Amino acid sequence: MSDEVRGGCPVDHAALSQRKTVRTVEAPAREAVEQGPDGVWHVRGHAQTREVLRSTEVKQAGFNAELLQKMPGEMRAPILYQEGKPHNEQRAKTARFFSPRAVSENYRGLMEEFAGGLISELRRKRRAELDDLSLKLAVKVAGKVVGLTDSRVPGMDRRLEAFFANDITSFGWSPRALLGFARNQTRVAAFFYLDVKPAIEARKKEPREDVISHLIEQGYGDGEILTECLTYAAAGMVTTREFISVAAWHMLEQPTVRERYLQADEKERHALLEEILRLEPVVGHLYRRATADIQLDGGPDGEASVTIPAGSLVDLHIYDANADESVAGECPLALRPGRELQKEKVGAAVMGFGDGSHRCPGSYIAIQESDVFLRKLLALEDLHIERKPSVSWNELVAGYEVRSFTIALGSS
H/E run at residue 12: none
pLDDT at 85: 87
pLDDT band, very low/low/confident/very high, at 253 (cuts 50, 70, 90): very high
**Do the Cβ atoms of 378 and 253 come closer than 8 Å?**
no
pLDDT at 4: 41
Q: State which of 16-30, 42-56, 86-100, 296-310 shows the largest mean pLDDT.
A: 42-56
Query: At CB < 8 A and 24+ separation, what contacts does 267-271 make?
Result: 268/338, 269/371, 269/375, 270/367, 270/368, 270/371, 271/337, 271/338, 271/348
| Model confidence pLDDT, tens digit, residues 379-406 | 999 999 999 999 998 887 788 999 999 9
Q: What is the pLDDT of residues 153-204, one digit of tens each?
A: 999 988 888 777 755 544 444 455 445 556 677 888 999 999 999 999 999 9
**How many domains does the chain divide into?**
1
Of 6-10, 300-304, 406-410, the least confident:
6-10
For the chain, percent of residues with pLDDT exceeding 90: 63
Read off the DSSP letter of residue 153. S
On the question of pLDDT at 11 being above 50, the answer is no
344 pLDDT above the threshold of 50:
yes
| 56-74 mean pLDDT | 68
Query: Taking 60 as the threshold, does the pLDDT of residue 66 lie above it?
Result: no
pLDDT at 237 over 80: yes
Amino acid making up residue 325 = E
| CATH at 393 | 1.10.630.10
Exposed/middle/buried for residue 181 (C-beta within 10 Å: 0-12, 13-18, 19+): middle
Mean pLDDT of the chain: 86
The residue range of the domain holding 295 is: 3-409
Q: Picking from 58-67, 176-185, 325-334, which range would have the lowest pLDDT averaged per residue?
A: 176-185
**Lowest-confidence region among 9-13, 96-100, 136-140, 232-236:** 9-13
Query: What's residue 188's pLDDT?
Result: 87
